[in-house]
Amino acid sequence: MVQVSKKASNRNHNSTTATLLKHYAFLAAVLFTTATIIAFKILSTSDEPDSASTTSIRGTDSATASHSVDTRSGSAIIRGTDSVTTSHSVDTRSDTTTSSMRVGGILSAQSILSSGRPYLIYGTAWKEDQTSRLVAEAVKSGFRFIDTACQPLHYQENLVGEGWTKAAAELGLKREDLSLQTKFTSLNGQDPEQIPYDKAAPLKEQVEQSLVKSLENLQTDYLDSLLLHSPMSSFDDTMTVWRTFESFVDDGKVRRLGISNCDDYKMFTKLYDQARIKPSVLQNRFYEASGFDVGLRQFCKKNGITYQSFWTLTANMKALATPEIKMLAKEKKLSPQTLMYAFMLSQGHTPLDGTTDSKHMAEDVALMQRFLDGEELFNTKLIEAMADVIGVPRGQLVPVTDQ
Q: Which residues of 152-165 are buried (b: 16+ CB within 10 A; e: fewer)?
A: bebbbbbbbbbbbb
What is the rounded distance in angstroms from the CA atom of residue 327 to the CA atom of residue 336?
Answer: 9
Write out pLDDT tens, residues 221-266. Answer: 999 999 999 999 999 999 999 999 999 999 999 999 999 999 999 9
Q: Other CB atoms closer than 10 Å to residue 209's CB: what's the count?
A: 17
- Residue 376 DSSP label: -
Residue ranges in the chain whose pLDDT is less than 70: 1-106, 394-403
The pLDDT of residue 128 is 97
Q: Other CB atoms closer than 10 Å to residue 311's CB: what's the count?
A: 18
The pLDDT of residue 183 is 98
Nearest 5 degrees, angle CA 397-CA 401-CA 403? 155
From the list 218, 244, 66, 68, the residue with the least C-alpha distance to 155 is 218
**Composition of the chain by helix, strand, coil, percent to 5:** 50, 10, 40
The pLDDT of residue 24 is 53
Q: Are 378 and 332 in contact, with CB atoms under 8 Å apart?
A: no
Which phi and psi angles does 318 have, rounded to 5°? -65, -45
Write out pLDDT tens, residues 74-94. Answer: 222 223 333 333 332 323 233
From the list 326, 314, 189, the residue with the least C-alpha distance to 260 is 189
The pLDDT of residue 93 is 33
Which residue(s) pair with 283 in the sheet?
260, 308
Which residue(s) pair with 72 in the sheet?
75
Which 3 state secondary structure label does DSSP give 142?
A: coil
What is the rounded distance in angstroms from the CA atom of residue 177 to the CA atom of residue 278?
Answer: 25
Helix spans in 251-379 (H): 265-274, 294-302, 317-320, 323-331, 336-346, 358-372
What is the rounded distance in angstroms from the CA atom of residue 278 to the CA atom of residue 26?
Answer: 39
The pLDDT of residue 99 is 32
